[in-house]
Amino acid sequence: MTRKKTLLNIHGRQKKEEDCCRWAGEKLIKMDEKRREYDVVVIGEEPHLAYNRVGLTSFFQHRKAENLYLNPHEWYSGKPDGALNYHLNTIVTEIHPAQKVVSTSRGDTVPYDILVLATGSDALLPRHTPGHDAKGVFVYRTIDDLEKLITYADTCKGSTGAVVGGGLLGLEAAKAMMDLETFGKVKLIERNRWVLSRQLDADAGGMVVDLVTKLGLEVLLSKRVGKIEVDQDNAVKGVVFEDGEKMDCKCLMFGIGIKARDELARRSSIKCADRGGGIVIDPSLMTSEKDIYAIGECASWESQTYGLIAPGIEMADVLAFNLTQAKVHSPRKFKRPDLSTKLKLLGVEVASFGDFFADRDGPKNLPVRRIATKKSEGEGPQTMVKSITDGPPPPPVKALTYKDPFSAVYKKYLFTLDGKYLLGGMMIGDTKDYVKLVPMVKTQKQLEVPPSEFIIGASKGGEDDASDLTNDTQICSCHNVTKGDVAKVVQDGTCKSIGDVKSCTKAGTGCGGCMPLVQSIFNAEMKAMGTEVLNHLCPHFAYSRADLFNIIYVKKLKTFADVMKECGKQPDSVGCEACKPALASILASLYNQHVVDKPLHGLQDTNDKFLANIQRNGTFSVIPRVSAGEITADKLIVIGNVAKKYGLYCKITGGQRIDMFGAKKQDLISIWTELVNGGMESGHAYAKSLRTVKSCVGTTWCRFGIGDSVGMAVRLEERYKSIRSPHKLKGGVSGCVRECAEAQNKDFGLIATEKGFNVFVGGNGGAKPRHSELLAKDVPPDDVVPILDRYLMFYMRTADKLQRTARWVEQLPGGIKYLREVVLEDKLGICAELEKQMQELIGTFFCEWTEVINNPERQKSFHQFGNTSDTLETMEKVDERGQQRPAYWPSDSVKEDFRGTQWSQLTWQPMIEASKFADIPTGSSNPVKRGDTQLAIFKIKGKWYAMQQMCPHKRTFAMSEGLIGDDMASDKLWVSCPFHKRNFTLNGTEAGKCSNDAEVSVATFPVEEREDGWVYLKLPPVEELDARLGTSKWKVLKGEGKDPGFARLDEKMKGLKGRKMYEASHLANGDGAKAAANKIIGKGEGEGEGGMDW
């Protein structure tokens, strides 16, 4: 067993320093809880556990030290044995770096592996001022200081108490004196012309003076204490100012600054700053001694110490991160801290952020956004003389100021001269924008709105209801549907559902990319008419997808029949093309059973049925998993071999993997077998699930990398692969802010920072692109997974059908703010359950391809026809750039009346064994071949139906793979073509009609099962059937489709150097791609001369 390292944390009297000491220990323990590398030992000078010094003013209300504790006693005792030990009321007297031990005032020696000094600072007392040691003189720093003040104040009730110092500490001390309610009057003495002079300008500081004066604090400005007057008992009785004026008071508290406590370090020969004091540290926070670090107010970084809590917390973060996470991430460095401050002083909201004195002192750090300009003609000796006589030019900053004395609001924001970047600012009274403005300054991102909107605000945008679009605006380019077309059919009552709109206008029945906008227009029109808009899954359910998810989860429903019986309007319904895939997704998200198995097979879209993406010509594309885009040469060889063997068209996807097109259904299992045998697995490109987690190379190779983006992306893709969700999921991880992985347009994305990763969510590309939003920043690598587990599972539980995370986040009440509350702050109390549910789901992972390869029963549907091993081609192939693609679809549908075909005669013909159909509630089907004609046969609730296999819309041959739907009220059954969702009626007098495209129809045929176990179809003679429906007749040929129009462009490119559209080599005698590949594999010409040499 590896020995755990001891991390020794030494802090002095409780100050803000205690906060960063506690933060460092707590943060380290949290980050280390998985690895348990460290035992933390804390030695503290005070008798109290770590408490909140910022909350000291509340001590006067309860006067209980325990109420200020940052963690209760139980928190300490609840840590694993040895993980955290502490020594109270103990002073460390000496450090022995060579022996790695410290000595204490109790005579003990405590060993360490890592030593952290958090000794803090002392409050300054002006020891040059006569009377500084009188009774009644206090500083405002610790619980002990307050207890002494309380005791002394009782001896001088009704007198005047005074505070010296008008900074943050002084105003806090004044608040403490006023809260005692024992002094008759409290006065504040400030040497400058306004208070908070280190955070605010004169206007803002003056407004604070006015506000606190109204609250009962008397403020004396431009006053310096020259002497403290005392009585015969050496007790304070007043002060004399340097200008000679006097003021009576009985108690005096100093809040004029702090001095770093570095005496322990100095005694131990650890380097300390000569000027200003403090323990000298490097960017890793290490002192001059190895394995000894210093953080907080005692630390001197670049000759400066910091009295604010934020830099101390930042130091603690950096140190805890480096000690626990640097093995899997670039070590962090402490950089110039953000001194932004927001607090409430005497009831007054005050904030300053960024470079808040850039207009006075000049900007410290201007955004780098322009290349250097030419040296102007005016530069030279004359200009230098002018600068000496006239003084330096004004800072390159413009201020935008708002002052409302009636509402006591003051805002000043500082921008670059062009108004493109926010540099900093200050605000009084109204500080609600503080949290929004600070990140803008930190990221130095160019502003997207004019500066004036930061003061007066922007026009508020409501729901995206397309109200800014005119009625003649085209919203569906596939079918040239305008906004007015959609609005009209809703307004005149023709369409009362989104399905009706699709049927009437065809909007959304092409690529489907316009559906969010169509839905928005529909919702807006229905709302305008005073009609309730329901988000029910479909006519078969009076529930939304989220409602159904919860019902199925709580009642543990596992089959379509169970769900329909429990939740459906008609318990015996077969559902439809809208609800079946949604229910399949929910069941997979909860139980992850194989989608090819019979109980679930009838719920799946064609892609899921065959674990591959169906393409224009009825073949499929195959994409193996390439986690994070990282792939070995060996796997590339396996993929290349498969592609060559099966004649597959290859293309690199946008998600950094390889797509192989043109795989025949009957070849899929053989292709998968070779890929799986070569160490690969299903990439789930066919499913509404995680596609990829895209990555840049990060620290693996890139010289700019901060984080291991590839390593993180691989881990995330391996964790979330195969989980099905309401829509597809895409992730990205970038190794630095250069963002090469485009993580900010993904459903979830990470960008490495020096502190970990910023986590972005709710982005997507596509028809309606959306930038993702920041969910959490600077997340340590170990904490990324719990956050994403919660986010993804919350999305899977609550999103609507086919709703991407972008639209989901937009529609959450409160948007990203609410999501943060749920996922990060556990507002709903479900975080533990979300993590548990995700862990259970990913624990069920299996490769879907492999399970089919190993199970003959699952292989039965992987054939072109159920009654023969013959195959038919439905599209001609076109040679293009060294590969083959299918011919383009013709523009027009086939509008022949197939449904009304008059056959010369019909006779019963045995077509297929009935045993090849499953008796399942969702219905089952099979394609069959008769001569050159393809037919589709369906078995639904024990009844049989048959139609032509070709959909006339685009002359595709896949009707048998379509989803079956019903309307039990009208006893109507239909099948939905898997390509573009044309719905064709299967039964009754309207059999063969298309319900959402009246221009097309299909031929249907009588069908029955006989006692011999065969299914018979009543068909015309083969020659007559082929003449009407034959595959050769309707096969899509070259030249039928619309030419893409590249001829003129290709003509221009001919002869241009380096522009090559083919496989030729740039070398004069080069082989070119095909010949070179053949030589490598020892095939064709050159066989035996080359060959694989690895």
The answer to which of 105-114, 360-369, 576-585, 1034-1043 has the lowest mean pLDDT is: 360-369
Q: Say whether pLDDT at 620 is over 90.
A: yes
Pick from 899, 886, 865, 847: which is nearest to 1029 by CA? 899
pLDDT digits (tens, 9 = 90+) for 22-47: 556 677 887 877 778 888 899 988 88
pLDDT of residue 28: 80
pLDDT at 834: 96
> Is the model more confident about 861 or about 435?
861
pLDDT number for residue 724:
94
Categorize the per-residue pLDDT at 180 as very low, low, confident or very high, splitting at 50, 70 and 90.
confident
Q: In what order do the strands lie in the sheet with 84-87?
A: 84-87, 38-44, 5-11, 114-118, 292-294
pLDDT of residue 1061: 61
* DSSP codes of every residue in 363-425: -S-----SPPPPPPTT-SHHHHHHHHHH-SPPPSEEEEEEEETTTTEEEEEEEETTS--EEEE
For the segment 5-13, the average pLDDT, to the nearest whole number, is: 64
Q: Which of 957, 962, 897, 901 is nearest to 929 (CA)?
A: 957
- pLDDT higher than threshold 80 for residue 908: yes
Q: What was the pLDDT predicted at 615?
A: 95
Average pLDDT over residues 354-369: 84
Mean pLDDT to the nearest integer, 846-866: 94
End-to-end Cα separation, the chain, in angstroms: 42
What is the rounded distance in angstroms from the CA atom of residue 517 to the CA atom of residue 477? 12
Indicate whether 558 pLDDT > 70: yes
pLDDT at 865 over 70: yes
* Residue 375 pLDDT exceeds 50: no
The pLDDT of residue 24 = 64
In the predicted structure, residue 195 carries a pLDDT above the cut 70: yes
CA angle 336/338/340 to nearest 5° reads 155
Enumerate helices (H) and strands (E) in the chain, giving the number of each: 32, 50
Determine the pLDDT at residue 1058: 67
> In the structure, what pLDDT confidence band is assigned to residue 1094 with cuts at 50, 70 and 90?
very low
Asked if the model's pLDDT at residue 54 lies above 90, the reply is no
Q: Quick check: 66 pLDDT over 60?
A: yes
**Chain mean pLDDT for the chain:** 87
Confidence at residue 755, expressed as pLDDT on a 0 to 100 scale: 86
Interatomic CA distance for residues 410 and 400, integer angstroms: 11
Q: How far apart are CA 800 and CA 669, in angstroms?
A: 34
Per-residue model confidence (pLDDT) at position 276: 83
Q: Report d(CA 1086, CA 1094) in Å as an integer.
A: 18
What local confidence, expressed as pLDDT, does residue 1083 receive?
A: 63
Q: 430-434, 548-552, 1036-1040: which has the minimum mean pLDDT?
A: 430-434
* Residue 478 binned pLDDT confidence (cut-offs 50, 70, 90): low
**Mean pLDDT confidence for 863-870:** 95
Give pLDDT, residue 536: 86
Q: What is the mean pLDDT of residues 627-646?
A: 95
Most confident of 442-446, 470-474, 493-497: 442-446
In this prediction, residue 1084 has a pLDDT band, given cuts at 50, 70 and 90, of low
| Least confident range of 413-417, 511-515, 1043-1047 | 511-515
| pLDDT at residue 372 in the model | 39
- Measured between alpha carbons, how far is 582 from 803 in angstroms, rounded to an integer? 11
| pLDDT at 317 > cutoff 60 | yes
Comparison of pLDDT for 1069 and 867, the residue scoring more = 867
The mean pLDDT of 238-262, rounded to a whole number, is 93
Q: Helix 545-555 and helix 781-798: axis angle, to 10°?
A: 100
Lowest mean per-residue pLDDT among 53-67, 351-365, 553-567, 861-875:
53-67
**What confidence tier does 1010 reach under pLDDT thresholds 50, 70, 90?**
very high
- Assign 68 to helix, strand or coil: helix
Q: Is the pLDDT at 486 greater than 50, yes or no? A: yes
Is the per-residue pLDDT at 369 higher than 60?
A: no
For residue 909, pLDDT over 90 is answered with: yes
Q: For residue range 110-140, list pLDDT tens digits in order.
A: 999 999 999 988 888 999 999 999 999 999 8
Mean pLDDT of 68-76: 79
Q: What is the mean pLDDT of residues 1067-1075?
A: 84
Mean pLDDT of 1017-1045: 94
Residue 429 has pLDDT above 80, yes or no: yes
Q: How confident is the model at residue 1059 (pLDDT cuts 50, 70, 90)?
A: low
pLDDT band at residue 257 under the 50/70/90 scheme: confident
For 719-771, the pLDDT digits (tens) are 999 999 999 999 999 999 999 999 999 999 999 998 899 999 999 877 678 89
Read out DSSP for 886-950? EPPPPSS-----STT---S--EEEEEEEGGGS---TT-EEEEEEETTEEEEEEEETTEEEEEESE
pLDDT (mean) for 865-889: 94
Cβ pair 971, 588 in contact under 8 A: no
Is pLDDT larger for residue 930 or for residue 368? 930
pLDDT of residue 515: 74
